[in-house]
């Protein structure tokens, strides 16, 4: 029998990759998009414009995770076998600016979906998009499913509520609900203000004289970066497992932002030379033009200094491992940017 999935947050990076993945598995895919005065489905354009897919397997609906009525009505109407909650105000720095909205969407949004599931059909499987930001000020390295949480932002705290409410509904109502604890994952479809996309886009533009300088914040935070394509496969695998559970998904490797910039520059054959310290640290190209500079405005009130996960449980129980490494991720992101230039 054909399966039906409902994706909250379908217009985001992961929503686009998960949609493609599930369509390839012959799912009927329903997605929830927010009303917007500007075009907000560009990541889905290639799927949506495919007439064959459009007619039979792929449907977009208006809704919002801050609106219980739309959530209830959509779950009732689409009758999904699986619900993926990817919807969130997902920018950590922005969560300090709009903490109440972030909590409403990222914490209460999950509760609203869980409540609708137990009222409509307890057989619906549920995936919650948890985050390594819940580890925050890390209590041990590497982080596993057993590492205590210590969030460092309104975003991290809201995701922590979602994590525990998902565990609670699983135990209280015996539903198939899973938390993915996903470390940073990137792709050509990453939002422009996340550091990897910002760096790749800017260095590509600098290489081709379309931009002079890149401004960043903390160069020394360390992240465990994977590719979104690998991580959506893990989401699906969690819902096909023989029991509902929580899984860390990561690569087990970490790099600083500065190392990431150096790796992108290397692939683009830009030779850079760092000078200075702290917020005054700058990178210069071979003609001694300053191309990277730090700016206080990108620093956060509290920072997550280091993240590095251990995916042994997912490897053993889900038979999951990442196919991409940092270099293939960067290569994919650069190719996309350069193609975009060519189509300008
Ligand atoms: P993203 O690109 O920012 O996408 C977020 C999605 O949520 C977008 O479709 C957005 O819609 C939607 N959304 C935001 N507020 C909403 C609301 N009130 N009602 C309905 N939809 C709403 O994020 P992503 O990188 O794909 O991440 C997917 C999920 O995984 C998020 O929950 C994120 O917090 C979590 N996560 C991400 C990472 C990562 O490294 N990417 C790691 C761990 C966890 P618009 O397009 O209209 O803005
Ligand atoms: O920052 C530093 C910044 O915004 C990474 C989200 O998907 O992953 C993401 O959250 C690091 C931080 O991602 C700039 O201070 C330096 O230390 O790319 P980011 P994030 O905050 O790690 C987690 C797992 C999620 O769940 C989130 O939804 O890079 N950094 N300079 C910068 N960050 C940004 N954005 N911009 C800079 O200029």
Q: Please check the confidence at residue 52 and state whether its pLDDT lies above 70.
A: no
| Cα(286)–Cα(10) distance, integer angstroms | 42
What letter does residue 228 receive in the DSSP assignment? H
pLDDT on residue 87: 98
Tokens representing residue 213 in the block: 């300088």
Q: What is the largest CA-CA distance in the chain?
A: 65
Residue to probe by mutation, ligand 2, list 149, 156, 184, 220, most atoms within 8 Å of CB: 184
Contact 14, 90 (CB under 8 A): no
pLDDT on residue 136: 98
Place 56 in a pLDDT band, splitting at 50, 70 and 90: confident
| Cα(196)–Cα(240) distance, integer angstroms | 31
Contact 159, 131 (CB under 8 A): yes
Report the separation in Å between the CA atom of 217 and the middle of ligand 2, taken as the mean of its atom positions.
Answer: 10
pLDDT on residue 95: 98
Q: Which residue, judged by its Cα, is nearest atom 8 of ligand 2?
A: 184
Q: Which CATH number fits domain 4-188+226-253+305-324: 2.60.120.10, 3.30.70.1230, 3.30.200.20, 3.40.50.720?
A: 3.40.50.720
**Mean per-residue pLDDT, 156-163:** 99
Place 341 in a pLDDT band, splitting at 50, 70 and 90: confident
Q: Which residue, judged by its Cα, is nearest atom 1 of ligand 2?
A: 195
Region class of 246: left (phi > 0), else alpha (psi between -120 and 50), else beta = beta
Q: Please check the confidence at residue 71 and state whether its pLDDT lies above 70.
A: yes
DSSP string, 235-265: HHHHHHSSS--EEEE--S--EEHHHHHHHHH
User: Which are the contacts of 223, defined by CB distance < 8 A and separation ≥ 6?
Assistant: 183, 184, 254, 255, 257, 260, 307
Q: Which residue, judged by its Cα, is nearest atom 21 of ligand 2?
A: 92
Q: Which residue, judged by its Cα, is nearest atom 32 of ligand 2?
A: 195
Q: Give me the percent of the chain exceeding a pLDDT of 70.
A: 98
Q: Please check the confidence at residue 183 and state whether its pLDDT lies above 70.
A: yes
pLDDT on residue 129: 99
Place 26 in a pLDDT band, splitting at 50, 70 and 90: very high
Tokens representing residue 86 in the block: 């990817």
Report the separation in Å between the CA atom of 135 and the middle of ligand 2, taken as the mean of its atom positions.
Answer: 14
Q: What is the pLDDT of residues 139-155, one digit of tens each?
A: 999 999 999 999 999 99
**Mean per-residue pLDDT, 201-230:** 98
What letter does residue 316 receive in the DSSP assignment? I
Pairing of β 222-223 and β 255-256: antiparallel
DSSP H/E element including 215: strand 214-216
Q: What is the pLDDT of residues 113-123, one digit of tens each?
A: 999 999 999 99
pLDDT on residue 54: 65
Angle at 33 between CA 159 and CA 339, to 5 degrees: 95
Report whether residue 335 contacts ligand 1, using a CB cutoff of 6 Å: no
Closest ligand, as measured to the CA of 143: 2
Report whether residue 34 contacts ligand 1, using a CB cutoff of 6 Å: yes
Report whether residue 163 contacts ligand 1, using a CB cutoff of 6 Å: no
Q: What is the pLDDT of residues 238-258, one digit of tens each?
A: 999 999 999 999 999 999 999
Place 49 in a pLDDT band, splitting at 50, 70 and 90: confident
User: Which are the contacts of 225, defined by CB distance < 8 A and separation ≥ 6?
Assistant: 183, 184, 185, 186, 196, 251, 255, 260, 326, 329
**Mean per-residue pLDDT, 288-298:** 97
Report the separation in Å between the CA atom of 181 and the middle of ligand 1, taken as the mean of its atom positions.
Answer: 14
**Mean per-residue pLDDT, 277-295:** 96
| Cα(282)–Cα(303) distance, integer angstroms | 21
Q: Which atom of ligand 2 is nearest to the CA of 218?
A: 16
Report whether residue 195 contacts ligand 2, using a CB cutoff of 6 Å: yes
What letter does residue 183 receive in the DSSP assignment? P
Domain ranges within the chain, ordered by starting residue: 4-188+226-253+305-324, 195-219+256-302+339-343
Q: Which residue, judged by its Cα, is nearest atom 33 of ligand 1?
A: 90
**Sign of the C-alpha dihedral, residues 43, 40, 184, 329?**
positive
Q: Please check the confidence at residue 297 and state whether its pLDDT lies above 80.
A: yes
Q: What is the CATH number of domain 195-219+256-302+339-343?
A: 3.90.25.10
């Amino acid at each position: 029998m054909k399966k039906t999935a409902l994706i909250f947050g379908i217009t985001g990076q992961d929503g686009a990759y998960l949609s493609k993945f599930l369509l390839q598995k012959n799912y009927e895919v329903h997605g929830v998009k927010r009303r917007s005065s500007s075009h907000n489905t560009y990541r889905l354009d290639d799927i949506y414009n495919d007439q064959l897919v459009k007619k039979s397997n792929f449907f977009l609906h208006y809704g919002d995770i801050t609106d219980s009525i739309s959530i209830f009505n959509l779950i009732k109407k689409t009758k999904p076998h699986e619900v993926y909650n990817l919807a969130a105000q997902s920018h950590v720095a922005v969560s300090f600016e709009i903490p109440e909205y972030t909590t409403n969407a990222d914490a209460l949004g999950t509760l609203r979906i869980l409540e609708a599931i137990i009222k409509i059909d307890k057989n619906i499987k549920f995936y919650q998009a948890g985050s390594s930001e819940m580890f925050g000020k890390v209590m041990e390295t590497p982080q596993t499913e057993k590492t205590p949480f210590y969030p460092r932002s309104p975003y991290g705290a809201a995701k922590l509520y979602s994590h525990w409410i998902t565990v609670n509904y699983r135990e209280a109502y015996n539903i198939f609900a899973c938390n993915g604890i996903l470390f940073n994952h990137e792709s050509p479809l990453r939002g422009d203000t996340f550091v990897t996309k910002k760096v790749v886009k800017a260095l590509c533009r600098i290489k081709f004289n379309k931009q002079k300088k890149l401004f960043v914040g903390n160069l020394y935070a360390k992240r465990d970066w994977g590719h979104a394509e690998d991580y959506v496969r893990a989401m699906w695998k969690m819902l096909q497992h023989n029991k509902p559970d929580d899984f860390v998904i990561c690569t087990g490797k970490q790099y600083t932002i500065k190392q990431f910039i150096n790796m992108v520059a290397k692939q683009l054959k830009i030779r850079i030379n760092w000078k200075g310290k702290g917020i005054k640290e700058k990178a210069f190209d071979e003609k001694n033009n300053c191309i990277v500079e730090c700016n206080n405005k990108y620093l956060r009130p509290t920072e997550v200094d280091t993240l590095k996960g251990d995916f042994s449980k997912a490897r053993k129980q889900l038979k999951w491992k990442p196919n991409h490494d940092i270099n293939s991720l960067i290569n994919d992101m650069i190719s996309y940017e350069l193609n975009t230039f060519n189509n300008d």
